[in-house]
Structure 1
Amino acid sequence: MTGSPHVRRPATLASLAAELGVSRTTVSNAYNRPDQLSAPLREKVLEAARRLGYPGPDPVARSLRTRRAGAVGLLLTEALSYAFRDPVATGFLEGLALACEQAGQGLLLVPVSPEHADVAAVHQAGVDGFVVYSVSEDDPHFRAVLERPVPTVVCDQPVGVEGVDRVSVDDREGMRALGAHLTALGHRKIGVLCMRLGPQRHDGPADLVRQENTSYPVQRERIGGLRDALVDAGVDWSAVPVVERFEHSPEAGASAARELLASYPDVTALVCTSDVLAIGALQHAAEAGIAVPDRLTITGFDGVPEAERVGLTTVRQPVRRKGQVAGELLLQRGERNKPKQIVLPTELVVGSTSGPATQTEKFFSGW
């Protein structure tokens, strides 16, 4: 069926220029280089465009011409919803979005599964550079990013990648300070709940070999910092139980706490490598009638808003600032020749969930 002959076709750059009696360059500058026109002339062009239905330059054609997409890609090896559900990812995303906003750049989320090696999403992303958010050392999507001829900034991990900017915190020192706080309170029987140590699903105890061979340096450093503090206090690290969870959620933290305490009921402190896991551990303690901190100390790492609300003892890191710095590093990459490594500070926050170790009896039948 043919269209009505009375339907007016949208204006084009050429027809708009003819309507105004100006050059096509003038119309183009009104959108792409507004500093080249006086304010009254630009407003005249834009008003005529609205009246005639001219939508502006084709962004696809423009990107082909300028060879710039006008957007930063965030590689996230999780489901898309993770960026809006996980409080650390949300804080990081807010900071990154702020940096992009200030630079007039868009932000494209590139979520991929850590369990699948399909890198098509990375190859097809129309971006001018990538911020890689905390992926494993052997992640195929990260390798695909490095194959793209665009600048890249890594947040947290991997480490030691040549020619790539990186922003992080000193995870090891942060956790060492937390461990020293616990040993000063007399804790020697300590259990650990950690985030995933590998790209393939594993839920359960993580032995020494798995701890050392993890492809996630952040977890390696956080566990290592705690180990340093406990060894300094005379604790045999090989006797410290570590339970791993693939999913990062309060539910995972609760189930991990339940599993560890069932096997080690004399533990006096649970050290969680994230606040999210610690919040889950607190939920389990409440449900099981375990007094915190009188019977059991629980700590986290990250300093998310919910941790502050429940008074969690934790290590606070500046997640929003980390995202902003990552964006600034990427957007300023063309101004310098050498990559930069920026380490932001952490802060030990002693809340109401940590207290002195106590001698306990094994009468909690719910463990």
Structure 2
Amino acid sequence: MSRPAPRHTPAWLSRRAVTNGLVAVLGLSLTGCGLPDRVVGLHDAPVEKTSGAAYSEAAALSIVTRVLTAADAAFASSDAARKTRRTVLTGPALRSAEVENRFEDRSASLRTRGKPTVLGISAGRDWPRHILATTLVDGVQELHVLRANSPTSPYKLWITAPMLPGASLPTLPPLAEGITVVAGDKGLAASPTEVLTAYGQLLNVPTKTKTSKIVTTKDAYAAAVAQATAAQQKALGTLGTFTRTNKPATETLSFRLADGGALVFGQLARTDQLAPTSKAKRLDLPSNLAKLAKTKSVTESLRLNWLMSAIAVVPTSGAATVIGVGEQLRGIEAD
């Protein structure tokens, strides 16, 4: 199922890109204002089906609309929003919302979210259950995963990530048939955790792994990262060093595709570091980066910590591809 190529600006080329090759990107985040009248999940339970998808499309759409409305508000930087986050967010979405809000005023953002479309509903009557949905936000196609752990638990947003330019979503099972969670690497060319971890390793600077048999880096995000890294290193020259480290993926969630492959969602933690060499006493920072770091220069190092939410397609054989990436700055440390 093809999706329109969103007008997505890769992280290293975003509006926060720092001049002279020193790049600091504020990632994508949900925004909105005002909580709904009812807490998400505290409503009459939809009628379940004994086979196929657990709920009807209309029931699932109602759940998604409520959850995303509340999630948008929960990502705002207000005190009221902070208190409600755990009632509407979980997993990677909760971690994304709990990053330091001093890097971006989400409450003032003017993002326009279109009407959700339900892509998949958990099959059967087991728990936990999931709903896969998509929305269009200012021309960017976002995918969302909602989760409910038990009959008495409300649905919460588990992750949101934007699709990359030129990426398409493979065919999912028919909506009425329902979607199933993939356990481990059953029927797949590689496990989802291995795929996302390998992808992060390929983006490390320096990296010991330039190619991988289980995942490619032919996507728009990886291409933009490579281009920006080269520019960054050229700008620093012999006066500074730049390194990037992605930690292994610790939590992934995968759904079986119609062809037997899997649609994978997960999150990585990344650190970018700038440091002066022995030829420079310090690195003077551009004004916009200095404002974020609260220092005009560094003598030891500057570390930017990120959360990267990713979407990948893992086939039954061959290499996986990344079709969506959203990243968010979670902290800056200067020495």
Asked if these proteins are the same fold (TM beyond 0.5), I'd say: no
More strand by share: 2
TM-score range, shorter chain: under 0.3
* Larger Rg, first or second structure (1 or 2): 1
Which has the higher relative contact order, 1 or 2, with Cα contacts under 8 A spaced 6 or more apart? 2
More helix by share: 1
> What is the TM-score when the length of structure 2 is the normalising length?
0.28
